[in-house]
Amino acid sequence: MLSQAPVYAHVYRSRAGEVAVRSWCEMELVGCPGMRPLPELTADGRSTRVHVLEGGSGTPVLVLSGAVLNSATLTGFARLVAEDRTVILADMPGQPGLSSSRRVFGQRPGSYGLWLDALLPQITDRPVILMGHALGAVAALSSLPSPLVERMLLVNPAGLADPLFSLERRIATGAWRLSPSERTSARLLETLCAPHRAGPEHDSHPLQEWMTLMGRHCRTVPVPGMLRGEEFSDWHGVPVTVATGSHDRVFSPSLLHGAARRLLDANVHVIEGAGHLAPYEEPERVRDLLNHGGD
């Protein structure tokens, strides 16, 4: 029997919305000193945009962002990490950003591993640290072990367990989807981040503008749960650091502890003062994990 061709949906609600989102991303990346784009690549049949920020002499790091986030939202983190090492940022296809907007109906999260398998040898010929945040960890865990991966850092990782249920987050997400605005974006970010510190400098989250833009123009999908057995690659023998925020209400330290030990023979490093968006909330602590592997 002939297999059916995949049916694609697009992450953007309209062509105008796609232009608005891509323009915002281009401006953020162009505005980052030293950031350079690689020529557009094709990985697992989908166009992929990759940006590189040259840095210190440490092992380069390939950063894969969480769902609804991308390279453009990580420029601040990249500038910080580039003090130590070159940073490679890749937009994941099917997510808002500069890569392919095609999202396959019924696609299992583990299919991101096929994309990463095809992408990695196109962007580096020497070993890198593979850092996956949230959904990016799913791509890392479901990709095939490679001599091009020296070690892995998984931050607020999806794929190891099903996300915790939160009525507060579900209500905030519903309000944001129905009426995306600065107010509903801020409320959703409050459910994802650690409690606000005192002081006016924390009144507006740096991702608030992006979340509002994305809510207006993009279709979203639920946070992926635990990978199935056949999707989870055997990373034994490769050093893996697992970290999550002390206030992560999606993938908490207690939720991840057993799975990280059982599946990766790794402990969970707790990032104090961070929620589910640790690279944005506590970038210095994530940088330390890149430098020292949680030791």
pLDDT digits (tens, 9 = 90+) for 114-166: 999 999 999 999 999 999 999 999 999 999 999 999 999 999 999 999 999 99
Confidence of residue 106 (pLDDT cuts 50, 70, 90): low
* Cβ contact 212:182 at 8 Å: yes
Does residue 4 register a pLDDT over 80? Answer: no
**CA–CA separation, 290 and 295 (whole Å):** 10
More confident: 8 or 12: 12
* Run of H or E including 129: strand 128-133
**CA–CA separation, 195 and 129 (whole Å):** 30
Average pLDDT, the chain: 91
Q: What is the pTM of this model?
A: 0.93
What does the pLDDT look like over 25-54, one tens digit per residue?
Answer: 999 999 999 999 999 999 999 999 999 999
**CA–CA separation, 288 and 284 (whole Å):** 6
Q: Helix, strand or coil for residue 28?
A: helix
- Residues comprising the chain, all counted: 295
Q: In the prediction, which pLDDT does 267 show? A: 95
For 86-90, 173-177, 232-236, 266-270, which range has the lowest pLDDT when averaged over its residues?
A: 232-236
DSSP states of 34-100 as a string?
A: TEEEPPPEEETTEEE-EEEEEEEEEEEEEEEPPTT--GGGGHHHHHHHTTTEEEEEEPPTTSSSSS-
More confident: 130 or 222: 130
**CA–CA separation, 62 and 127 (whole Å):** 10
**CA–CA separation, 123 and 42 (whole Å):** 11
